[in-house]
Amino acid sequence: MGYEVLTAFFLEAGFLGIMLFGRKRVGDKLHFFATLMVALGTLVSATWIISANSWMQTPAGYSIAENGQYVPEDWWAIIFNPSFPYRLVHTVLAAFLTTAFAVGAVGANHLLADRTNRQARIMFSMAMWMAALVTPLQIVAGDAHGLNTLEHQPAKIAAMEGHYETQKGAPLILFGIPNDQTDTTDYAIEIPKLGSLILTHDPDGEIKGLKEWAKEDRPPALIPFITFRVMVGLGFLMLGLGLWSLWLRWRGRLYDNVWLHRAAILMGPSGFVAVLAGWYTTEVGRQPYTIYGLLRTSDSLSNVDAPAVGASLIAFIIVYFVVFGAGVFYLLRLMRRTPQTDDHELEKAPNRAAGITPGPAQSSKVEPNNGH
Ligand code: HEM
């Protein structure tokens, strides 16, 4: 976390103000540079945070001293612990997709009002390229991530899949209600052998069920089971929208199809929901451990009185509510404003700007069917 603050947080924090509020105050190049620095800072930040989280999922490169303290032994093994590369790729792609679907929804909303708006077209087009190209990558990355989890945290996979019994040729349970009391997944709708095929690449491969572990060593199954399906379901909806947009782009109708635009608006929050669902899967699936296999969550409690914990929790809630609320309010205002060429660009290049400013006089300059 120290590395994160030193290498990334200052970079992001320093340039964020210029990015959000400086568009008209600094030149285009500095504004673009500030935007790149925010993106880079966020990426570096994600790297360190994911490394720390991954170490708690798949600890490596440490020893335990006599007094029970963890002692770092191998810096590289700690940072590049076994689940880190998978988690980093999956999380960063998730962030790209979340952004793309939010931007796509805003662009689509403005296109519904005026399909000739050039800025809205650029927003929508870039977002749909991201959806079409990055979603398949995310699905492949998610699959590889799952195989890595199977190797290091098989109980988490058993919970995500709703499997209590160890089976050869295990089915893929599409829907059902895992019940930790009876050790069964009730009302299961399943496809035979597909579970084994996906996880072991062999239709008769063996998959361990939760009963392999003592009850006190297993994660609760219901939450990872549901959140995993929400995440994967949204992933496939994202793929559907991306492919649909590709098809319409190819037909030259990307900016004309109101149904695509409505669907893109509906999918606007999908990335945020998928990310939360993914983290619930990961973190509830890690239970009952804080450091997987080594430190139980029940043993991780600090020796702090309940009122102190309550007070800091309330402080967090208030501060987050204010800061987050202000951020959301500002972003919603930005999203609602019809995108158009900024005044300072108009001053710099009046002719070009006039050609791309939306409005009845200029709309004939924009080709309605240009799909690129
Ligand atoms: C559609 C196919 C997908 C598959 C097969 C998949 C697979 C997985 C798996 C197996 C995990 C848990 C790994 C672990 O805890 O060890 C996970 C977590 C996660 N997923 Fe997905 N995922 C998919 C789609 C998505 C999408 C579309 C998003 C977001 C846009 C997303 C975001 C996340 C996040 C943020 C996490 C938690 C961080 C992590 O452990 O990587 N996933 N995913």
pLDDT at 342: 53
Q: Pairing state of beta strands 172-179 and 70-72? A: unpaired
CA distances from 340 to 123, 264, 335, 345 (A): 12, 21, 12, 10
Is the domain of 110 the same as that of 78?
Answer: no
Are residue 89 and residue 230 in the same domain, yes or no?
A: yes
Partners of residue 172 on adjacent β-strands: 191
Q: Which of 91, 149, 228, 282 to mutate to test the pocket of ligand 1 (most atoms within 8 A of CB)?
A: 282
Mean pLDDT of the chain: 88
pLDDT digit string (tens) for 125-169?
999 999 999 999 999 999 999 999 999 999 999 999 999 999 988
What does each C-alpha distance from 303 to 65, 298, 300, 306 come to in angstroms?
21, 12, 9, 9
- With a CB cutoff of 8 Å and minimum separation 6, the contacts of 346 are 353, 354, 357
Statement to judge: residues 19 and 139 lie in one domain: no
Check pLDDT > 50 for residue 123.
yes
* Domain termination site, one of 82, 112, 139: 82
Structure tokens at 278: 């993914």
CA of 142 from ligand 1 middle (Å) equals: 5
Q: Using the mean position of ligand 1's atoms as its centre, give its distance from the Cα of residue 278 in Å.
A: 5
Residue 362, in any domain of the structure:
no
In a domain, 154, yes or no: yes
What tokens does 350 get?
């009046």
Whether residues 94 and 69 fall in one domain: no
Instruction: Provide the pLDDT for residue 31.
Output: 93
- Residue 1 is predicted with a pLDDT of 82
Point out the domain boundary residue: 297, 324, 348.
297
Q: How many CB atoms lie within 10 A of CB 349?
A: 12
If pLDDT is split at 50, 70 and 90, which confidence band does 6 have? confident
Instruction: Tell me the mean pLDDT in the region 7-27.
Output: 86
Nearest alpha-carbon partner for 138 in 102, 174, 77, 86 = 86
Among protein residues, the one whose CA lies closest to atom 30 of ligand 1: 94
Domain assignment of residue 48, given as a range: 1-82
Residue to substitute in 51, 58, 135, 145 for testing ligand 1 pocket (most ligand atoms within 8 angstroms of CB): 145
Same domain, 195 and 101: yes
CA of 153 to the centre of ligand 1 (A): 15
**Pocket test residue of 231, 236, 239 for ligand 1, highest count of atoms within 8 A of CB:** 231
User: What mean pLDDT comes out for the span 31-40?
Assistant: 93
Q: Are 203 and 196 in contact (CB under 8 A)?
A: yes
Token output for 157: 């996979």
Token duo for residue 340: 């158009």
Q: Collect contacts of 4-7 with beta carbons under 8 A, ≥24 apart.
A: 4/44, 4/45, 4/48, 4/49, 4/52, 7/44, 7/48
Alpha helix stretches (DSSP H) within 337-371 = 343-348, 350-356
**Cross-strand bridge partners of residue 191:** 172
pLDDT at 365 over 50: no
| More confident of the two residues 23 and 40 | 40
Asked if residue 237 and residue 126 are part of one domain, the reply reads yes
Mean pLDDT of 202-213: 90
* Threshold 0.75, pTM exceeds: yes
Residue 288: asked if its preceding bond is cis (omega within 30°), the reply is: yes
**How far is ligand 1, taken at its centre, from the CA of residue 215, in Å?**
26
> Do 118 and 232 belong together in one domain?
yes
Give the total number of structural domains in the chain: 2
C-alpha of residue 85 to centroid of ligand 1, in Å: 13
What mean pLDDT do residues 111-121 have?
90
CA nearest neighbour of 131 among 247, 258, 238:
238
The average pLDDT across 32-56 equals: 93
- Tens of pLDDT, residue by residue over 344-359, are 444 444 444 444 444 4
Q: Which residue has the higher pLDDT, 362 or 304?
A: 304
Residue 18 lies in a domain: yes
Domain endpoint, select from 263, 297, 331? 297
Give the mean pLDDT of 332-343.
Answer: 75
CA-nearest residue for atom 16, ligand 1, is: 149
Degrees (nearest 5) of the Cα angle 295, 296, 300?
A: 80
Q: Please give the Cα distance from 307 to 296 (Å, whole number).
A: 23
Q: Is residue 364 part of a domain?
A: no
Mean pLDDT of 4-25: 86
Q: How far apart are CA 233 and CA 138, in angstroms?
A: 13
Q: Name residue 62's beta-bridge partners.
A: 72
Same domain, 242 and 106: yes
363 confidence band (pLDDT: 50, 70, 90): very low
Quick one: average pLDDT of 362-369? 42
What is the pLDDT averaged over residues 197-213? Answer: 89
Q: pLDDT above 90 covers what percent of the chain? A: 68
* Residue 352 lies inside a defined structural domain of this protein: no
Structure token digits, residue 126: 């870039």
For 187, the 3-state DSSP assignment is strand
Which residue in the block uniquely carries the two structure tokens 């880190």?
A: 84
Of 191, 182, 145, nearest to 164 by C-alpha is 182
**Rounded mean pLDDT of 201-209?**
89
Average pLDDT over residues 95-114: 94
Q: Are 51 and 73 in contact (CB under 8 A)?
A: no
Ligand 1 centroid distance, CA of 98 (Å): 13
256-268 pLDDT, tens digit each: 999 999 999 999 9
Protein residue with least CA distance to atom 38, ligand 1 = 279
CA distance 291 to 100: 33
Q: How far apart are CA 42 and CA 96, in angstroms?
A: 12
Q: Where in 61-183 does DSSP place strands (E)?
A: 62-64, 70-72, 167-168, 172-179
- What is the spatial distance between Cα 97 and Cα 138, in angstroms, rounded to a whole number? 9
Alpha-carbon distance of 197 to 309, in angstroms, equals 46
- One domain for residues 218 and 281: yes
Pocket, ligand 1, Cβ cutoff 6 A: 83, 87, 90-91, 94, 97-98, 138-139, 142-143, 145-146, 149, 153, 156, 231-232, 234-236, 238, 271, 274-275, 278-279, 281-282, 285
What's residue 147's pLDDT?
92
366 DSSP assignment: S
- Is residue 364 predicted with pLDDT exceeding 90? no
HSE-up (13 A, CA, CB side) for residue 30? 11
